[in-house]
């Protein structure tokens, strides 16, 4: 089974900071990689799929990159409404990463 490992597990950053979250696959997964945002007490929402394609309606400060085994989610300018846990997913098998909790400093 291919494992998905996110880092860091949590981070605290200031409003306006650039934030980067990493997701690493234990084997190559091409670009079958999605990112989700789950705000506290809310339903997960799709942010990015195919590693770098922004889902409709998602703010442009979110971006994704990578292919093969290493992927990143970047928030170019952190906003208070971005406080959430972010999950990567290898969607050809459904496997999620363990999540990265983002807080405001």
- Contact between 31 and other proteins by CB under 8 A: the answer reads no
Stretch that binds other proteins, among 16-24, 58-66, 70-78, 85-93 (CB under 8 A): 85-93
- Contact between 34 and other proteins by CB under 8 A: the answer reads yes
- Contact between 11 and other proteins by CB under 8 A: the answer reads no
Q: Which residue has the tokens 């980067």?
A: 20
Of 29, 46, 35, 6, residue with least CA distance to 92: 29
Quick one: tokens of 91?
């969607």
- Among 23, 36, 66, 75, which residue sits at the site for other proteins (rule: CB under 8 A)? 36
- Contact between 30 and other proteins by CB under 8 A: the answer reads no
Q: How far from 33 is each of 13, 17, 69, CA to CA, in Å? A: 25, 24, 10
- Contact between 16 and other proteins by CB under 8 A: the answer reads no
Of the pair 45, 74, the CB lying nearest other proteins is at 45
Angle at 38 between CA 1 and CA 86, to 5 degrees: 55
Under DSSP, is residue 78 helix (H, G, I), strand (E, B) or coil?
Answer: coil
Interacting residues toward other proteins by CB under 8 A: 1, 32, 34, 36, 38, 43-46, 49, 55, 85, 87, 89, 91-99
């Amino acid at each position: 089974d291919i494992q998905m490992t996110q880092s860091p597990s949590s981070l605290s950053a200031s409003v306006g900071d650039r934030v980067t979250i990493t997701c690493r696959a234990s084997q190559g997964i091409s670009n079958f990689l999605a990112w989700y945002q789950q705000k506290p007490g809310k339903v997960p929402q799709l942010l990015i799929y195919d590693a770098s394609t922004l889902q409709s309606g998602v703010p442009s400060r979110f971006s994704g990159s990578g292919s093969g085994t290493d992927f990143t989610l970047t928030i170019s300018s952190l906003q208070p409404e971005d406080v959430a846990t972010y999950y990567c997913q290898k969607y050809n098998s459904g496997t999620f990463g363990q999540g990265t909790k983002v807080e405001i400093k």
